[in-house]
Amino acid sequence: MNALERLRQFTTVVADTGDFNAMRAYAPRDATTNPTLILKAAQKPEYRALLEQTVASHPGEPAAGVCDRLLVRFGRDILSIVPGRVSTEVDARLSFDVEATLARARRLVGLYEEAGVGRERVLVKVASTGKASAPPRCSSAKASTATSRCCSLSRRQWPAPMPA
């Protein structure tokens, strides 16, 4: 029994990559993505078609919208590999704006639903940047009810001081 097999006895293995081949090799239960991981993967020749198809399918859409669609496209394809959930991260630049964070989270969930992926297979990650950030309030009853999905917090360090 190798180290990965021993680890599986005690925990859930989650892939933290946008590389489908790595996921196939290690067979994780769930996968997590973020815009940086997807950007890295999209630059590889084997994923170029996903990027080109996504851009071509949505002419005239703002860059942020196309990026959300690319995240969901990768997420949908990841879900054909992993049996559990995929987590997709809301743009960390929105982390100090509660309403914008929630709106983006709802948009991502809606895009997954449009792509035929049920909410039970999607986990939305939001950046946790400190006491003034949106994530602590995302776990409130209002936010949970509004999104009908749990969220995960990703810790981010910012070079600028936190807003008061």
Lowest mean pLDDT among 74-83, 107-116, 139-148: 139-148
**Residue 162 banded pLDDT, cuts 50, 70, 90:** very low
Give CA 74 to chain center in angstroms. Answer: 9
Strand residues in the chain grouped as ranges (E): 14-16, 30-32, 86-89, 122-128, 151-155
Name the active-site residue from 40, 44, 125, 131.
Answer: 125
Contact between 58 and 51 (Cβ < 8 Å): no
Query: Which H helix or E strand runs over 145?
Result: helix 141-147
d(CA 88, CA 71): 7
Active site (annotated) includes residue 125: yes
- The per-residue pLDDT for 80 is 96
In angstroms, how far is CA 97 from the centroid of its own chain? 18
Return the ∠ at Cα 96 (arms to 39 and 40), rounded to 5°. 5
pLDDT (average), residues 139-159:
43
Q: Which of 36-45, 74-83, 97-106 has the highest mean pLDDT?
A: 74-83
21-67 pLDDT, tens digit each: 999 999 999 999 888 888 889 899 999 999 999 999 999 999 999 99
25 CB contacts (<8 Å, ≥6 apart)?
none
As a whole number of angstroms, the distance between CA 41 and CA 23 comes to 13
Read off the pLDDT of each residue in 101-120 and give the average, rounded to a whole number: 95
Q: What is the mean pLDDT of residues 5-34?
A: 91
